[in-house]
Amino acid sequence: MLEPEQDDVSEHNAGQSIDKTEAALDSVTDDAIQNHGSDPKQTLHQPAKDVDLHVIDHADHISHHSWMSKRSAVNALRNIEANFHLGNYVIDRSTREKHFENMSVYVRLGMHLLYYGSRQENILQWQKTEHILKAQTKKMGKEYDTPESTAHIAPFIKSFHLEDSMLDMIEPDPTKYKTFNEFFGRAIRPEARPIAEPDDTNVFSSPADCRLTAFQTIDLATKYWIKGYNFTIERLIVDPLTAKAFDQGSIVIARLAPQDYHRWHSPIDGIVENVYDIPGTYYTVNPQAINQEGSLNVFCQNRRSVMLVRQKNGSQVAIIAVGAMLVGSIKYVDKSDVPGTEIKRGQCLGAFYYGGSTVIVLYPKGEITIDEDIVKNSSDEKCETLVKTGWRIGSRTTRLSSSSSTSTS
């Protein structure tokens, strides 16, 4: 344990590091705002490996990485990059190929703030971190709600190769959107995301175009994936009585990257029983943050909205929209959040506005049998699986008879 004098020095150094990180993040967001028509991969979404961050990285990992990159094979280098929090592996479910996705500079900066914020013994640093993240999120949200922000749309589409995907949208013409946020939360044509096995109400779907992990029990999720301290379902949904319904239940975690279609859909049929919001901050939901031992548990710290849905077999499912770094808002659509509303599998429930975000689905114990490939990717490979909205991710463990279910077609 540190002596008081040593602790004072440690707090001083942490404070200086937070100040440097804040200045760097402010510079990155300023650059994105001031350069409307620039390639986002030269501002907010610039790969962290291409940026010299050693001035705020106390371990100087980036400098080491630059030296080693000249001496390593591609796969070895990518493992190094993953260890240094510069990216993540994702498995494409369609092709079974494993891809390395670089972390953006703004997410890397958010990782620095998460580390400093996790100092349980230093609540003032945590509060400062929350203030920084909220201020930056509001700053970008305000910018992307202005008419001038439409200048960001064309370079964003080009940089992330979204030209073909725009054909799936209800409004395919990028010039018709009035703000960047309106474009970011764009709606898709229902026929572009058909649900798998629509006549089988025992099938459960992916809630989003996302990078997905899923675990048969919460214990497995905390063993293989969620490493932040003190994660519990009660802390996640802030309702002790409801949390008991998901004791030893299953969890599906759908992470949306900025380049994804940014709405979420119902994975089930059911009746909306309750929707409530939980205030919080805006930590990054990048896997490197979720997998970091001993850090703050971002799912239980970030702003989120909980929807409780009752299925026809009587069991309850929780669909939780989680905000993240630079996510301006979480909005339900078509009054889907009104209690008593009947929702169908594949139905659009809401939209996120700018940034990465996550949808978590909780199932009661024994409700879902997750598809084998997703289980393997999540647990054995410790990787996310790239899936689309409506794709099958599992089925009901105890199948409903045809007489007690109705078609969703």
* Catalytic annotation present for 265: yes
Our measurement of the distance from residue 67's CA atom to the centroid of its chain's CA atoms, rounded to an integer in Å, reads 32
Q: Which one-letter amino acid corresponds to residue 19?
A: D
- Burial state string for 149-176 with b = 16 or more CB within 10 A and e = fewer than 16: bbebbebbbeebebeebeeebeeeebee
From 57, 209, 260, 269, the catalytic residue: 209
Question: What is the distance between the alpha carbons of residues 368 and 123, in angstroms, rounded to a whole number?
Answer: 40
From 250, 266, 357, 378, the catalytic residue: 357
What is the DSSP annotation of 171-206?
A: S--GGG-SSHHHHHT--B-GGGSPPSSTT-TTEEE-
Using an 8 Å Cβ cutoff, are 383 and 91 in contact?
yes
* Catalytic annotation present for 61: no
From 85, 112, 262, 265, the catalytic residue: 265
Question: What is the distance between the alpha carbons of residues 287 and 212, in angstroms, rounded to a whole number?
Answer: 11
- Quick one: tokens of 374? 């997703």
* Catalytic annotation present for 209: yes
Q: Which one-letter amino acid corresponds to residue 98?
A: K
Residue 399, strand partner residues: none
Please give the positions annotated as active site: 209, 265, 357
